[in-house]
Chain A
Amino acid sequence: MPDSHHPEKSSESIAPTGSGGAMGLATSEAETLEREPAPGRPRSLWSDAWRDLRRNPVFIISTLIILFLITIAIWPKLIASGNPLACDITKSQDGAAPGHPFGFDIQGCDVYTRTVYGARASVTVGVCATGGAALLGSVLGGLAGYFGGWWDALLSRISDVFFGIPIVLGGLVFLSVVTNTTVWPVIGFIVLLGWPQIGRIARGAVITAKQNDYVQAARALGASGPRILLRHIAPNAIAPVIVVATIALGTYIALEATLSFLGVGLRPPTVSWGIDISSASIQIRNAPHMLLWPAGALSLTVLAFIMLGEAIRDALDPRLR
């Protein structure tokens, strides 16, 4: 029996993302991370992937960017000493000045400080929404794939319903009637419309995994349903979910910014790249710097998560090697 079927050894490579949800299953066993397989034993999919990833510059760069982002999301004061809400209207739309490398926005706020502080909202929404969507999607999709039957049919129709609604449009309708101005309605909405995508992937992965011989063997040995699902199927079906969730994290951050840009996502005084881009867009002819910095930070963040997801996918997909 090939090594890769043991859940105990299937945890490496995903630890660095640390965004909860789908990764929960795997990170609990992160201690085995550095352990090389004993000589003579076949290497598992995960240790192979980890060996690939460590040498992949794309993986290293994107991980560094993400770690940096998470750090400044938690402790923005490390690199920005100012207050993002302390603005001086007399400096409205001024260019760069000593101590203010990115210049000032319409309200006279320091663009650099606001760009740094904007990371917090984006990372919070991205991580929480992905965690929620991945958890909901993999549980519901996984159960649908495992049990099949009417539950599967029902779930497929439900996800079709959500696929039928364009996501920005749904966000506008849903969030425009919500009066709560915290990040939670935005996160809740993204989870609500995001889980079917991950659920579909999880369902397919579980269907593929449950047809394997070792699942039959486990069943023949008398393993219970939950045990088969958690110990034998889940570790072998989680790879595609992790890939999709990582890429989704990037797109969710972009979605949050888009909704904030349209005026229904996060709202002031929350500091968000989407809000700053929206208010800067009016003055793009006179002061493009107000738009370019938050837009650049946003794009770089999305890029980092998509690059990370693709690096993991390339490492996990043997067909591309």
Chain B
Amino acid sequence: MGHYVIRRLLQMIPVFIGSTFLIFFMVYALGDPVAALFGDRAPDPAVAAQIRKDLYLDHPLGAQYVHYMSQVFAGNFGTAFNGQAVTALMGSAFPVTLRLTLVAIVFEAVIGIMLGVVSGLRRGRTVDTSVLLLTLIVVSVPTFVSGYVLQYLFGVKWELVNPSVSFAAPIDQLILPGLVLALVSLAYVTRLTRTSIAENARADYVRTAIAKGLPRGRVIRRHLLRNSLIPVVTFIGTDIGALMGGAIVTERIFNIHGVGYQLYQGILRQNSPTVVGFVTILVIVFLMANLLVDLLYALLDPRIRYA
């Protein structure tokens, strides 16, 4: 197990470097952060050169990247162009997005698995067909459409919830945005669970469990579900990273000041330290979630052992 974890951690290093360098390249080489700082006016050459020197931008890109990463690992993410430390922005943004992601994951796991089990056990019946049709429609409607439609219905027309989330973003205000963020993944979880359950329901061990007289509920929970959830757990795990990064649209619709909001503002204003810093953290979250999923396998399936 220890060896496996170490090997996986080592494998992460090139991926981490690659992803962060790619973003670093796009932000610093394709865009011009110093010109962005001056907006539409042309900067005074001497001032621009001084800023470049201060921000370490007068070095080759590779050296800039190494310098930036060494700063990051010392806990210094630099300063956003408005003078705030990037870490301060992170401190206010990440907890909000974390809560939002949490709500989304709960929706995904609870509703998704429940619908999947119900339709997987009744394959070919009306319930199954309607769930399948519903997931198909949900997958096809892009988040920014479903977001606005649900916001309009629940927030404006029926006035059940506040259409805009307050700055503190308590969890009860995040329920509708969390649902919107989860919708597409929720449909995938449903379908994945359904296929997995339907496949395993024909397995020999399920027949054995039924034959030895176990109650139906116990067969489903202890035998069928546990074996069927492995691909679902994989999906939900890898989805954590995607949800945190993909919250840009949802956060924009519901005016949530989280990671997506900061990133969107940062990108539009070419606020390079903010963008690269936030993306670096997101890449780490994504890689860690993937590792966690692989380790969870051993817990769910005793046949899998990491030597």
Q: Cβ of A299 < 8 Å from any Cβ of B?
A: yes
**Given the known A-B contacts A157-B15, A166-B246, A306-B136, are A261 and B144 also in contact in the complex, defined by CB atoms under 8 Å?**
yes
Question: Given the complex of chains A and B, what is the CA–CA distance between A309 and B263 in angstroms?
Answer: 34
Q: Are B23 and A257 in contact (CB under 8 A)?
A: no
Question: Given the complex of chains A and B, what is the CA–CA distance between A284 and B149 in angstroms?
Answer: 9
Chain A residues 288 to 321 lying within 8 A of chain B, measured CB to CB, are 288, 291-292, 295, 298-300, 302-303, 306-307, 310, 319
Q: Cβ of B31 < 8 Å from any Cβ of A?
A: yes
Residues of B within 8 A of A319 (CB): 199
Interface residues of A (CB under 8 A from B): 157-158, 160-162, 164-170, 172-174, 176-178, 250, 254, 257-258, 261-264, 277, 281, 284-285, 288, 291-292, 295, 298-300, 302-303, 306-307, 310, 319
Q: Are B248 and A169 in contact (CB under 8 A)?
A: yes
Selecting from B49-57, B90-98, B267-275, the interface stretch reads B267-275
Question: Given the complex of chains A and B, what is the CA–CA distance between A42 and B27 in angstroms?
Answer: 57
Q: Are A302 and B249 in contact (CB under 8 A)?
A: no
Q: Are A291 and B142 in contact (CB under 8 A)?
A: no
Q: Are A176 and B267 in contact (CB under 8 A)?
A: yes
Q: Are A285 and B245 in contact (CB under 8 A)?
A: no
Beyond the given pairs A168-B249, A291-B148, A295-B141, 14 more chain A to chain B contacts, judged by CB atoms under 8 angstroms and listed by A's residue number, are A158-B18, A164-B286, A165-B23, A165-B283, A166-B241, A166-B246, A168-B248, A172-B263, A173-B26, A173-B267, A177-B31, A281-B144, A303-B137, A303-B140
Q: Are A161 and B22 in contact (CB under 8 A)?
A: yes
Contact partner of B30 among A167, A177, A263, CB < 8 A? A177
**Given the known A-B contacts A166-B245, A169-B245, A169-B282, are A299 and B142 also in contact in the complex, defined by CB atoms under 8 Å?**
yes
**Given the known A-B contacts A161-B22, A169-B248, A261-B249, are A174 and B30 also in contact in the complex, defined by CB atoms under 8 Å?**
yes
Contact sample, A vs B, 24 pairs, CB 8 Å cutoff: A157-B14, A158-B18, A162-B19, A165-B279, A165-B283, A166-B246, A166-B282, A168-B246, A168-B249, A169-B245, A170-B23, A170-B26, A173-B279, A250-B140, A262-B249, A277-B144, A281-B144, A284-B148, A284-B151, A285-B156, A299-B137, A302-B141, A306-B139, A307-B136
Residues of A within 8 A of B275 (CB): 173
**Given the known A-B contacts A258-B143, A306-B136, are A172 and B22 also in contact in the complex, defined by CB atoms under 8 Å?**
no
**Given the known A-B contacts A174-B26, A177-B26, A284-B156, are A161 and B15 also in contact in the complex, defined by CB atoms under 8 Å?**
yes
**Given the known A-B contacts A164-B286, A284-B156, are A258 and B279 also in contact in the complex, defined by CB atoms under 8 Å?**
no
Residues of B within 8 A of A168 (CB): 245-246, 248-249
- B72: shortest Cβ distance to chain A, in Å? 16
Q: Are B242 and A172 in contact (CB under 8 A)?
A: no
Q: Cβ of B214 < 8 Å from any Cβ of A?
A: no
**Given the known A-B contacts A161-B22, A177-B31, are A299 and B141 also in contact in the complex, defined by CB atoms under 8 Å?**
yes
- A198: shortest Cβ distance to chain B, in Å? 17
**Which A residue's beta carbon lies closest to that of B283?**
A164
Residues of A within 8 A of B270 (CB): 176-177
Q: Cβ of B154 < 8 Å from any Cβ of A?
A: no
Question: Given the complex of chains A and B, what is the CA–CA distance between A250 and B142 in angstroms?
Answer: 10
Residues of A within 8 A of B149 (CB): 292, 295
